[in-house]
Structure 1
């Protein structure tokens, strides 16, 4: 690394290079750094821990940098280069040029004094041409350089800095104007000008075994769908990762709302307007939908696709509605291919209806063969087009994993055919047959029995009130009964629920694809039950007139809808208040603890009181730039709470999350591997004992970053992963490296109490209440109600952020920290 000055990007680059020389999987034994004596003094003064272990605070590994002092006009030879390079001093700032120099050559136009930066550094290897790097427009000796570029004032705003080469042709002209030119003209081989900005697309720091090319159970095509919404807040207003975290969930909520709105419109138009209204309010306030709709999961994407597909499929099939067949087929396929392949099971009732149910068609017997032919043709033609979604998904995953990969097939193979070899989903826990019944009651309260009873309710209505849904549009042998059409629309929920119940491995997220259908089935049952009440009332009073003028039925359905909404709101508030502590800890760490650390070490900028004076009292405090935190090398650790790790989006940049030993005997996530720059962009298929390689200079822009993430980091075959859910040696970090520790304290349940790392002395930074569910009563822990009386049934622990005391004292007493980010 050639480091001409101690500027922001060079220091960030050094910080990024630390991991290259650390641990057993280090990339190289040391990194050569070439710099002037003045720059060396700047680094030693501002970042002494990069120089030597004796200058570092606390424990941990120190990077192995090999420092080389370079001097002006003194040739040197870099390792691996077959010729000498002569460094030269180049003026930094406004380049002074005499105004009257052009008099010596009347053929040249006068050159006014430049107003901005031009040369920043230069060198003279192999005497070919003159190299000069600048932060303004290219200058060939004839024109005036542009005004000072913003890169000097705010280096963080510049993604790239151009490099310009002055060929021998203008060199004599420069000499005529008094600009010193070293005879003969010079060139520079290359210059590492800024920090390496490599790594996963979304700055994900943890890798699971499913993303290893050996198993390839996670599709990168699904991840790429979120690329634009994840990057948009950063482009829009330079937001940080935390804002991106919540922006993604806002996008998820919008997509869910759009799909629900389409489904509501279809139900109102083609099923029943009352069913549509009931379903709308159930969807709006439901706790299960509130939880599932913003989850970053393939099963949530499958829920979007199934809901959108149902908004087409719930219209009666008809030969005149070819777009219905195509749209529903495409959406079902998208949910299965891009999201979760098992969700294709929900399309079975639609396929059966499309091939066998008349729907909106009246089909005379003579037209039946042609009708069958058309239906099959439309469905399988749509299926062929929808199957083409496999092509981009397979191409993206093949490129990402470095070999031919069909992720949907890998998922099916592992979960269905893996049990014979001791693999499969049962390794990750099994649940009793009634698990999903309890789960539905928990998330949908009274809607769960209504949804489960929808088909029996339809059968009762067909038997005792057959005119409730109306009659057929034509002869019985040429049209479909409305009961048949409604039964087909109720069937997907039952098919999914029964299939999942028969599986030993059960998880709540597996039900996500049918969550909107739970509300639909429950709304149908409520509508049919209202019909029973009306029929019973008419028979009891023998007066249809009185039945039409009573509010009894309206009040009954209103009470049911309002009750389920209130229960759902209570459940959502309970989840927020009882289990929000992990997010509270992340928020406190970023917005309280890190600013306190910067303030204690004298690095917190002084606020501009002149602008704050005119601000509203309701304005939030000015955001604190946390870029200076990088120099502390902080590490936050999780032990037994690793499964509540909020994700790298909520860990500030420059802070490293680690997972330490906690007694868990299964497979833990691991950090993504480091990368090495190369000039050869050929495919990489090496084991994790060798680092991932990326091109020396990534292409600019979003797609440049994308192309050098997929196929580089993602192709690496890591060691220490298996598909048997067995713990691997070395999967947990050394707790002596931890500066902070996230800890769940359960004083009323000592048998479940997590042990704090035995190394060091830990002190509380912040603690937040966290429900001890096993010590709380069922009703008070499931629902929330105002008042202390309700909370008497609950027992709380503390979810805490701990700080290692000795290391913190050493860090905060040091005066070496630099105010340059």
Structure 2
């Protein structure tokens, strides 16, 4: 019990660190989830075309629970000036992290009880330290919810297949996969196929039990589907089946002009690169387990455990990998649903390999005590090396790329008017970082995709505002100039101190001598890693100061700056107004895409990535 408490304590500490220090790895998380959630709890936010009743490929049912839980806190932050609005952002992350802690502990306990303590120990080591879990476990994304639900469904399936064979465990498998697929990401339902087939096959011949399972499963799916349809009907004003719309958009109706592929394509190396950066050796062990585990588990363990691991862990990894590796459009978050399955497979694999080493040493030396010593030394070295690399990667991305969260948090609590952003629009951490009387606006940056617009604030009620169909939207990423305002309308500005592209309309706010543009003052500045100019291992892993001299390459930073208007800008045609601007850009909607649509790829951190409204 003491060891388990220590392990769960480490898990809690890791997730708390993730909540407060890990970056937002994808602008889709901000504009498609945090922004509409801010609308629900604070009444304003940016809108993408997916939330228009005309398209309806994002479900309000997914956001509703978070809105109910955080509305009281949001109300207080807007009422009391001293409470910054971003506390709601971190509260949301805490809620998401808590659900994942529960799921990970559930899987740990299942592996401990139904497999072995060693496998459970490796699972907790890998899940606590993995860089991929550091952002997947706190992300406000349907694929993150799908990961959580897949973890719980798989855990219950292993319990069912190895010992209980109870209808209760079987129905919990159905319930969790249903929640992850319908409320989260519909494509995640593919992960349920192997375990469902196993349960049906296992129940075959026991007519009453099979019929009971099927009938209750149908009822569970119908219940969640009806709830989701009803919630979305309330917001969209018409009957829509959002999970179906997502599949239709991404698969059935996809074309050269519309669909996921217009947001960029990658080859298989993209996912390999991501997995290695997110999991290093654990990714290799996880996929090696897809080959090793079915055969070895069948020989060394019971047929039931072999079946549980093959159908519950290995088959879903194989299915998901086969489907998504073959898709032209790739996103890091698309692999979230199998993250804990990869960790589970890796935990079993490393346990099998180390046990084999121990057996070989014992046979060769005929000294059990020596074999045991070698085993413990190997276990310790393996755990330390993997954990060190993983934690170093996590600390690196949180310290080098988390700057936008820090800078936006320094917007004055009394700020009013327009907070503007140009070329850094895709790093915006959400309107939860804006005071209640401030609004985000975009200025010219040369980006020619469709930027997000604004949810209406003028229809008289929240529901009426949400039901309005914005003008100028499209599903083809066509630029809409109405999404951009002139610098004249800005009261605050976020930018980096890098050379600008004057031809594209970008404006230089600070020169090489540190002189700020006339009419503005620098309020706050923080260092942000320059991914393009940095080279060497320090770009990927955190190195303590004493070790940096031994590493090749150079880590370069630029400044991430917050400016405030204090007077007339050289490009202004009239005196600036420092109060709230009554005239907002039309409540139009947009999508996020191409060149700068990624926030930051938490694995590769290549800012060239595209992003956008894909599948989720």
The answer to whether TM tops 0.5 is yes
**Change beyond 3 A, Cα 1:372–1:432:** farther
- 2:435 alignment partner, SS class: coil
Question: 1:643-658 alignment to 2 at 5 Å?
Answer: 643-658=426-441
The partner residue of 1:782 within 540, 557, 571 is 540
Question: 1:666-745 alignment to 2 at 5 Å?
Answer: 666-675=449-458, 692=459, 694=460, 708-710=461-463, 712-745=464-497
Inter-partner Cα distance in structure 2 for 1:580 and 1:553 = 40
| Aligned residue number for residue 315 of structure 1 | 159
Question: 1:424-573 alignment to 2 at 5 Å?
Answer: 424-458=259-293, 461=296, 467-469=299-301, 472=302, 480=303, 482-488=305-311, 489-541=313-365, 543=366, 545-546=368-369, 550-573=372-395
- 1:665 alignment partner, SS class: coil
| Residues 720, 729 of structure 1: 8 Å contact kept | no
Inter-partner Cα distance in structure 1 for 2:290 and 2:522 = 55
| Residues 746, 752 of structure 1: 8 Å contact kept | no
Query: Of the two, which has the highest radius of gyration?
Result: 1
The partner residue of 1:356 within 190, 201, 216 is 201
| Aligned residue number for residue 447 of structure 2 | 664
Deviation at 1:378, TM superposition (A): 1.2
Inter-partner Cα distance in structure 2 for 1:199 and 1:643 = 19
Deviation at 1:389, TM superposition (A): 0.5
Q: TM-score, normalized by length of structure 2? A: 0.79
Deviation at 1:755, TM superposition (A): 2.8
Higher deviation after alignment, 416-425 or 237-246: 237-246
After superposition, what is the alpha-carbon deviation per residue over 1:414-469, rounded to whole angstroms, capped at 9, x for unaligned?
0011224731111111111121111111111111101111022225636xxx7533
Verify: 1:756 aligned to 2:507, yes or no: yes
| Residues 286, 444 of structure 1: 8 Å contact kept | yes
| Aligned residue number for residue 97 of structure 1 | none
Inter-partner Cα distance in structure 1 for 2:564 and 2:407 = 12
Deviation at 1:634, TM superposition (A): 2.7
| Residues 160, 170 of structure 2: 8 Å contact kept | no
| Residues 330, 383 of structure 1: 8 Å contact kept | no
**Change beyond 3 A, Cα 1:791–1:653:** farther
Aligned residues: 524
Verify: 1:587 aligned to 2:409, yes or no: yes
Verify: 1:796 aligned to 2:557, yes or no: yes
- 1:453 alignment partner, SS class: helix
Deviation at 1:375, TM superposition (A): 3.0
The partner residue of 2:108 within 236, 260, 264 is 264
Inter-partner Cα distance in structure 1 for 2:227 and 2:294 = 45
| Residues 86, 409 of structure 2: 8 Å contact kept | no
| Aligned residue number for residue 228 of structure 2 | 393
Deviation at 1:757, TM superposition (A): 6.4
**Change beyond 3 A, Cα 1:235–1:660:** closer
After superposition, what is the alpha-carbon deviation per residue over 1:554-583, rounded to whole angstroms, capped at 9, x for unaligned?
221222222222222111111122112211
Inter-partner Cα distance in structure 2 for 1:414 and 1:728 = 22
Question: 1:322-337 alignment to 2 at 5 Å?
Answer: 322-337=167-182
Inter-partner Cα distance in structure 2 for 1:799 and 1:731 = 23
| Aligned residue number for residue 207 of structure 1 | 47
| Aligned residue number for residue 599 of structure 2 | none
**Change beyond 3 A, Cα 1:283–1:444:** same
Inter-partner Cα distance in structure 2 for 1:420 and 1:385 = 34
**Change beyond 3 A, Cα 1:795–1:439:** same
Deviation at 1:224, TM superposition (A): 0.5
The root-mean-square deviation of aligned C-alpha atoms, in Å, is 3.1
**Change beyond 3 A, Cα 1:357–1:752:** farther
Inter-partner Cα distance in structure 1 for 2:166 and 2:502 = 62
- 2:564 alignment partner, SS class: strand
**Change beyond 3 A, Cα 1:202–1:526:** farther
Structure 2: any 5+ residue segments left out of the alignment? 1-37, 510-516, 580-616
Which of the pair is proportionally richer in helix?
2
**Change beyond 3 A, Cα 1:516–1:267:** same
- 2:494 alignment partner, SS class: strand
Verify: 1:339 aligned to 2:184, yes or no: yes
Inter-partner Cα distance in structure 2 for 1:281 and 1:461 = 23
- 1:455 alignment partner, SS class: helix
Deviation at 1:235, TM superposition (A): 6.6
Deviation at 1:277, TM superposition (A): 1.0
| Residues 358, 374 of structure 2: 8 Å contact kept | no
| Residues 742, 801 of structure 1: 8 Å contact kept | yes
| Residues 667, 728 of structure 1: 8 Å contact kept | yes
| Residues 354, 379 of structure 1: 8 Å contact kept | no
| Aligned residue number for residue 252 of structure 2 | 417
Verify: 1:274 aligned to 2:118, yes or no: yes
- 2:409 alignment partner, SS class: helix
| Aligned residue number for residue 417 of structure 2 | 634
Structure 1: any 5+ residue segments left out of the alignment? 1-197, 359-368, 473-479, 595-625, 676-691, 695-707
- 1:806 alignment partner, SS class: coil
**Change beyond 3 A, Cα 1:755–1:213:** same
- 2:41 alignment partner, SS class: coil
Inter-partner Cα distance in structure 2 for 1:236 and 1:735 = 32
The partner residue of 1:288 within 93, 118, 132 is 132
| Aligned residue number for residue 303 of structure 1 | 147
Verify: 1:242 aligned to 2:86, yes or no: yes
Inter-partner Cα distance in structure 1 for 2:284 and 2:501 = 38
Deviation at 1:728, TM superposition (A): 1.8
The partner residue of 1:231 within 51, 67, 71 is 71
Inter-partner Cα distance in structure 1 for 2:231 and 2:542 = 45
